[in-house]
Amino acid sequence: MLHKNQYNTHRTNKSSLTIVVKIGTSSICNEVTHFPLLSNLSGLVEAVLHLRSQGHRVVLVTSAAVGTGLRRLNMAEKPSKLSARQAVAAVGQGRLMALYDDLFGQFGQPVAQVLLTKNDLADRSQYLNAVNCLEELLDMGVVPIVNENDTISTQGIRFGDNDTLSAVMAGMIKADYLFLLTDVDCLYTDNPRTNPDAKPVLVCDDMVKLREQVSVASMGSSLGTGGMATKLIAADLAIAAGVITIITNGSKPKNIFEIIEGDRLDSTETKHPLHTRFLAKDNPLLDRKWWIQYGLHTAGTIYVDDGAAKAILAPRIKSSLFAAGIVDVEGSFVAQQAVEIAVQKKIGDQVEKVVIGKGIVNYSSTEISRIKRCRSAEIPNILGYVDSDSVIHRDNLVRIIQQF
């Protein structure tokens, strides 16, 4: 059965889907020569056009700016110096877009370049502007081609890899499906190249159990920044937004519409291409909550006592975080930044940090250090003013775990 995100209100017709496709560097560039893999790219373009002809809206998230830049500059390896990598990416991004524009242009399909950093989405108004722009492009029949803006990205504002970026895109536009195209057919219990006993994982409905069953320690290609571990993180982000996530082979782009067609027919006789499917959560986070959890940089940590933790996690009750329940503050941050909410749990002789939530603070780290363990009525006497009775209001607080 075709999956449809309950929050998606931008459908061209009842059968229309919104699909995000992410293709990695190893599927675009030869790892040694850095020449583009034109057969893969042409197949991808044809798959996107096929989806468009069926009335679906498609966003393409692409890697390979650095790989394309290395080929253009005749460089053998990715530089270790950050500014050099950024310069190579600047050269490669233009060449990469020209390649896509040429391929899509053969069929008269307009495309748009969208470059983002995590910092661009940290401000709520900028986040909503980005969503509106993407929706407008899709309504115009354009295929947005999204990449991280490597030229200005630094460690603190990077998505880290385009798997994460694609999941953020899927959440922003409330996509129905996210396809992560990689250089293997699906997720395996171990690396199939080194372990012949590795078994394919076909369906996942519990990420915690999955992580206990599989080994994803291997890194991505020498040109890329990801690997299978980053795809699990991306899947976790996407399913929280109500998006079914599929891992499948990037050298077989037709897998995308074959999987979609198989879901549409909803027949046990339909043979799907080999892939891993992560089932979307039944109760996805609302847009603002999802943005807080995944769109905002975490600036610090607030440690709370057991009473505050139980109040925050109480089922069917939405509780704010008050100063009286705070025991410690870690990091330096200002009001309206996002922080983790954690408890310190003693396990044997060890004290373990357990993150229970994330939220937007009404006070800075310095102010919270002064008012922690105090009642709300005492805040004006301590600070000389009061901005809010709560440190984090319940509307700006997301629960990460359900019980403590």
Distance of CA 68 to CAs 75, 85, 158, 174, 186, Å? Answer: 10, 12, 20, 30, 26
What is the crossing angle of helices 162-172 and 124-139, to 10°?
A: 80
Q: Report which residue type is found at 258.
A: E
> For residue 44, what is the DSSP state?
H
Residues 76, 77, 80, 85: is their CA dihedral positive or negative?
positive
Beta bridge partners of 343: 354
Instruction: Please give the Cα distance from 220 to 169 (Å, whole number).
Output: 21
pLDDT in tens, the chain (404 residues): 788 887 787 777 778 999 999 998 888 888 888 898 899 999 999 999 999 999 999 999 998 899 999 999 999 888 888 889 899 999 999 999 999 999 999 999 999 999 998 778 878 889 899 999 999 999 999 999 999 888 877 654 456 578 889 999 999 999 999 999 988 888 888 877 788 888 889 999 988 888 888 876 654 444 444 467 888 889 988 998 999 999 999 888 889 989 998 888 765 555 778 999 999 988 888 888 888 988 888 999 999 999 999 999 988 778 999 999 999 999 999 999 999 999 998 877 788 899 999 999 999 999 999 999 999 999 999 999 998 999 999 999 999 887 66
How far apart CA 158 and CA 325 sit, in angstroms, is: 33
Name the residue among 156, 349, 185, 345 with its Cα closest to residue 273.
Answer: 185
Q: What are residue 31's DSSP bridge partners?
A: none
Of the chain, the end-to-end C-alpha distance in Å amounts to 35
* Contact present, 58 and 96 (Cβ < 8 Å): no
Token pair listed for 11:
């459908």
Predicted structure pTM score: 0.83
